[in-house]
């Protein structure tokens, strides 16, 4: 039986580590052509070389998702290299949590720029191409925090809830163009996300929590593979998953 992922062109933002790296490696093994975008070019180059050593196809484009023109350049590079974009994984994100009373507006702005605007820029970059082809799949990464909020996580939760709202609006808008949409909301997965916290005690608490219960990034990659492997007439719109031990 043919692998439904084989030869699909997948663009991944936040592709230098964590969920993006795990997704790139797993889907490349299934025959996808990978286009990585992130700020850390050396990290991406190492991933690409590893994928190519296993017989896969991959390229990387240095990309800061807070700059719309860089996201457009990433998508155009995929089209120039492989002729099309079959799927976009809007994965870039950060989580500098803190109490609102601390007034850490710089962190708030960074979360809004990366977690919300970065997703919008990705959608804007691929949508004209996918509309023209009447085919495509846009996958946005939210979080358990997009479903629940607790003290210290108000702004992060707001950005991840926004991703869910944007995804649902997009789902309805693209029905005439045969484009599929998925939003994936992971719980504690072993990535560098806790390190993005800028308040020392918050960062330490998050890391301790993740060290105790986080599951490997491959768990996300397998979820992505499931959503992308469905027949064209099946649209997996939302997936929420957690470590079995996670209460929040």
Residue 103's SS3 state is coil
Helices within the chain (DSSP H only): 18-29, 41-53, 68-82, 105-111, 118-133, 154-173, 200-213, 218-228
Q: Assign 1 a pLDDT band (cuts: 50, 70, 90).
A: low
Is 156 one of the annotated active-site residues of the chain?
Answer: yes
Quote the pLDDT of residue 2.
80
Tens of pLDDT, residues 61-111: 999 999 999 999 999 999 999 999 999 999 999 999 999 999 999 999 999
Domains of the chain: 9-241 (3.40.50.720)
Q: Which of 82, 121, 156, 210 is catalytic?
A: 156
Tens of pLDDT, residues 127-159: 999 999 999 999 999 999 999 999 999 999 999
Residue 25's SS3 state is helix
The helix, strand and coil proportions of the chain, stated in percent and rounded to the nearest 5, come to 50, 15, 30
Helix orientation angle between 118-133 and 68-82, rounded to the nearest 10 degrees? 30
Tens of pLDDT, residues 157-216: 999 999 999 999 999 999 999 999 999 999 999 998 888 888 888 899 999 989 999 999
* Contact indicator for 118, 64 with CB cutoff of 8 Å: no
């Amino acid at each position: 039986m043919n692998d439904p992922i084989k030869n699909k062109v997948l663009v991944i933002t936040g592709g230098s580590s964590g969920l993006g790296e795990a997704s790139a490696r797993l889907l490349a093994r299934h025959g996808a052509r990978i286009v990585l975008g992130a700020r850390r070019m050396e990290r991406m180059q190492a991933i690409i070389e590893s994928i190519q050593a296993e017989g896969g196809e991959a390229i990387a484009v240095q990309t800061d998702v807070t700059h719309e023109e860089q996201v457009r350049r990433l998508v155009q590079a995929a089209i120039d290299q492989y002729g099309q974009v079959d799927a976009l994984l809007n994965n870039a994100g950060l989580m500098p949590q803190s109490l609102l009373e601390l007034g850490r507006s710089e962190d708030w702005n960074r979360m809004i720029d990366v977690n919300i605007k970065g997703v919008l820029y990705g959608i804007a970059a691929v949508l004209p191409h996918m509309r023209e082809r009447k085919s495509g799949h846009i996958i946005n990464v939210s979080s358990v925090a997009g479903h629940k909020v607790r003290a210290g996580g108000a702004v992060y939760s707001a950005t991840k809830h926004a991703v869910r709202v944007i995804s649902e609006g997009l789902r309805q808008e693209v029905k005439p163009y045969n484009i599929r949409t998925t939003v994936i909301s992971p719980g504690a997965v072993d990535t560098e996300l806790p390190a993005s916290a800028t308040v020392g005690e918050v960062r330490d608490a998050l890391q301790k929590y993740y060290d105790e219960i986080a599951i490997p990034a491959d768990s996300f990659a397998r979820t992505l593979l499931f959503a992308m492997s469905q027949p064209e007439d099946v649209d997996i719109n939302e997936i929420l998953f957690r470590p079995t031990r996670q209460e929040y």
